[in-house]
Structure 1
Amino acid sequence: MFDESVQQARLDRLLARHRDAVVAEHVRGCPTLVRRDQILVADQDVPAVEDRARRWLDSREDGPGVARMRLRAPARVDVCELSAHLNEDAPHRRLAVAPNHLVHGQPMWWTGPAGRPAPTAPLAPPRTARVRRPVTVAVLDTGLSPHPWYESADWYAAQRDEVSEVLDADLDYALDAQAGHGTFIAGVLLRHAPGVRVRAIRVIGGDGVGDELGVLRALARLAGRADVVNLSLGCHTYDDRPSPVVARAVAALGRRTVIVACAGNHASDRPFWPAALKHVIAVAALDGLERAWFSDYGWWVDACAPGVDVTSCFVSFDGPLPRVRGIDPDDFAGYASWSGTSFAAPAVAGAIAGLAAAEDLPATTAAERILDPAHRRTLPDLGVILMTSGS
């Protein structure tokens, strides 16, 4: 059972940091967070939506695949109701309109369990691996910090300045709640597929929060440039249906790209997006051979992998907390352990990418082999079990 006062404190901190965020609760007990006075519209639907929403429209920002429309604040428009109305009111076909939902990295969620990383002893670097073809895995997350495991790799040098993580954005001398999340995930990925190239795109901050617009922009940049995409983030939607603009962006990547996403950390079967999309591999977390207590589950989950006390590379940072029984709980020297479906997802993404690279397979073929229920054990509401040597 979650401590409601702790959950409310987390929510208060999030809303204080993201002042344009509001809680939307279309169905009682099923909240989500959206950007106030913003809707997202698939580019081909912009003229129709602009015509229907003209009375509330303040400005429009176009971009690849999607436009963000800002509504006039004095109009006090409910962006969830407006999106639903526009989606259902098209005379000839459904429009793709959605509120700009906030997305969150998953080990932490304001309505569910929260976990912090813990320092650990140095780990052996990923073993070298021979590959028959280059495979690129895109990691949409908090970015990457330098680390001996990969800082000499050409793929890291090409993006180092662009994707550098922000570790203490609020300048409180403490590591932000999810700073290092992207670095940790890249390490998990490389432990399972040491020969792949990682393409990092920063879409969430060190507090673990971003929005669908950032994810959509990143997906548009990846067209034809990644074999596998790892999304250790997501959200619930106001109506528990998939965001139509995200669904279109995923479809636009084509059938040659495999998308892997974490199932979320709410101990719930409520669909978590984009993991619950049909063309996305949703990954739950295991604790041994059982569901981790925090992991989401349900008909929409495709696979599960270890997600408790996972170890990986991490940032270097010494926070202000005092030692407890001789142990400094926030003195990180480049390695950590962490729990969450965030860290089960890259184990699956890495297994797929590693097989594709080693056997010169399309990523989709590798995914079919890795997740073939005829040859692997499955668990109800958790999908195919993937126990890999890098876990």
Structure 2
Amino acid sequence: MFDQDSCLERLLARHDDAVVVEAVPGRPALIRRDELLVAPQDAPAVADLVRRWHDSGEDDHGVHRMRLRPAARVNVCELASQVAGDRRHRELAVAPNHLVQGQPLWWSGPADLARPTAPVPAPRPRPAAREMTVAVLDTGLSPHPWYDGADWYAGQRDDVAEVLDADLDCELDAQAGHGTFIAGVVLRYAPSARIRAVRVLGGDGVGDELDVVRALARLAAWGRADVVNLSLGCHTFDDRPSPVLSRVLAQLRSSPRRPVVVACAGNTGGERPFWPAAAKPVISVAALDTRQGRAERAWFSNYGWWVDACAPGVDVASCFVRFGEFDGYARWSGTSFAAPVVAGLIAGLAAQEDVTAAEAARRVLDPAGAHTLPDLGVVVRPPARDEVQREPAGA
């Protein structure tokens, strides 16, 4: 386990434009200093309202980033609330640029590191009645025998390569391999799926809302994703959904295939809403600990009224990077790894039954045919033959 104060200290040292805000005591969030995100159609109105502090701005794929003058020392959260309309109904889509993190790791909650494990049997692709594409917004992909020969990987390999040791300290970065691991979990339950990797996190597991919104807007324009996996997220400064992210999620859901979006519920061990998982159009997934044959909430997993489903998320095994003691396979715990179980099962069912991702999601999450847990939603358990294999004795 990490010392969380040290983890936060390292994060702030590595991202010197990041700042901790606490609009509500005891409910911290991380944002980029002196930045506002605005829906493009609202940018002219917002620019006029903040012209006293405005420095520069640019449009890029569904979002306008507005930089404020550092010398003005603006409270970005207060300004966003005032400009949006500090009422129940916000009239303008404007928000601070929140930092997001992959979820074996969160600076105010539990953290977990990947551990080497014995090789995991490769998924066996089956003939599919429907082609399914799962978009994985994460740290990227590293080469692995599970998919090295796949055409979907060859077409994006150079663009999405993971950065394993960005600080050149000869140690694997804290979340390097996160995207590779998640892609492997998806493939275990949807072996015929095509993975569309989009790199939005660094090897330290840190990214921001700006890059997530850009990536979702690009997916909406691309129009070929069936399922989107987001094993990342954050708390917002006011515990409300970012209106900028909400608009791009609506745009994505309106794209030709109407993709299903699955996101992890977060690892802070509480019921505070975690975004984007808590957003209405998103399937939020908590983590179960199933090691003793029971299905109970993993001690680190978030929970609450906003959680839709839960799946195994402790001691999950998947493909991984080759670096140091790692030889291509690992075990890891976190809601990060429960989400792709659900995403993979949805994609796998849709591929085999020739139904849409939305119909497959309805079946996978049908409470009438499954057990439910309070504040955890529908219990999603993979078929017994597909359960994560345990390490052999002595491994």
Q: Quickly name the TM-score band, shorter chain normalised.
A: over 0.9
Q: Deviations over 1:177-212 (max 9, x none)?
A: 000000000000000100000000000000000000
| 1:89 to partner: Cα distance | 6.5
Show structure 2 runs of 5+ residues with no match: 389-395
Q: Any idea what SS the aligned residue of 1:374 has?
A: helix
Counterparts of 1:14 and 1:254, CA distance in 2: 33
Q: Which residue of 2 aligns with 1:270?
A: 272
Identify which of 343, 346, 358 aligns with 2:337.
343
Q: Deviations over 1:200-255 (max 9, x none)?
A: 00000000000000000000110122000000000000000000000111011125
2:58 aligned with 1:61 = yes
Q: Which residue of 2 aligns with 1:323?
A: none
- Letter of the 1:267 partner, please give it: G
More displaced 10-residue stretch of structure 1: 150-159 or 351-360: 351-360
Q: Deviations over 1:148-194 (max 9, x none)?
A: 00010000000000000000000000000000000000000000100
- Letter of the 1:346 partner, please give it: P
Could you tell me the TM-score, scaled by structure 2's length? 0.93
- Letter of the 2:284 partner, please give it: A
Identify which of 305, 310, 317 aligns with 1:304.
310
2:249 aligned with 1:250 = yes
Q: Which residue of 2 aligns with 1:321?
A: none
Q: Which residue of 1 aligns with 2:168?
A: 171
Counterparts of 1:390 and 1:278, CA distance in 2: 29
| 1:359 to partner: Cα distance | 1.2
Q: Which residue of 2 aligns with 1:322?
A: none
Change (3 A) 1:8 1:93: closer
Counterparts of 1:100 and 1:155, CA distance in 2: 32
Q: Deviations over 1:26-63 (max 9, x none)?
A: 10010010000000000110010011011111000111
* Contact 1:220 1:249 (8 Å CA) reproduced: yes
| 1:390 to partner: Cα distance | 4.2
Q: Which residue of 1 aligns with 2:228?
A: 229
Q: Deviations over 1:235-291 (max 9, x none)?
A: 000000000000111011125110000000011000000000011000000001000
Q: Which residue of 2 aligns with 1:378?
A: 372
2:118 aligned with 1:121 = yes
Q: Deviations over 1:50-80 (max 9, x none)?
A: 1101111100011121100000000001110
Identify which of 320, 328, 334 aligns with 1:314.
320
Counterparts of 2:214 and 2:387, CA distance in 1: 31
Counterparts of 1:160 and 1:186, CA distance in 2: 13
Counterparts of 2:47 and 2:86, CA distance in 1: 13
- Letter of the 1:366 partner, please give it: A
Q: Any idea what SS the aligned residue of 1:179 has?
A: coil
Counterparts of 1:254 and 1:192, CA distance in 2: 23
Counterparts of 2:224 and 2:251, CA distance in 1: 13
Identify which of 270, 287, 290 aligns with 2:296.
290
Could you tell me the TM-score, scaled by structure 1's length? 0.94
- Letter of the 1:317 partner, please give it: F
Pairs within 5 Å for 1:8-157: 8-88=5-85, 94-157=91-154
Q: Which residue of 2 aligns with 1:216?
A: 213
Q: Which residue of 2 aligns with 1:327?
A: none
Q: Deviations over 1:347-375 (max 9, x none)?
A: 00000011111111111111001100011
Q: Which residue of 1 aligns with 2:393?
A: none
Counterparts of 2:187 and 2:387, CA distance in 1: 9
Counterparts of 2:124 and 2:37, CA distance in 1: 43
Pairs within 5 Å for 1:348-367: 348-367=342-361
Q: Deviations over 1:302-332 (max 9, x none)?
A: 00000000000000000xxxxxxxxxxxx00
* Contact 1:191 1:390 (8 Å CA) reproduced: no
* Contact 1:192 1:390 (8 Å CA) reproduced: no
Q: Any idea what SS the aligned residue of 2:186 has?
A: helix
Provide the alpha-carbon RMSD of the alignment: 1.3
Q: Any idea what SS the aligned residue of 2:82 has?
A: helix
Q: Which residue of 1 aligns with 2:204?
A: 207
Q: Any idea what SS the aligned residue of 2:368 has?
A: coil
| Percent sequence identity over aligned pairs | 69
Change (3 A) 1:93 1:315: closer
- Letter of the 2:248 partner, please give it: A
* Contact 1:57 1:72 (8 Å CA) reproduced: yes
- Letter of the 1:73 partner, please give it: P
Show structure 1 runs of 5+ residues with no match: 319-330
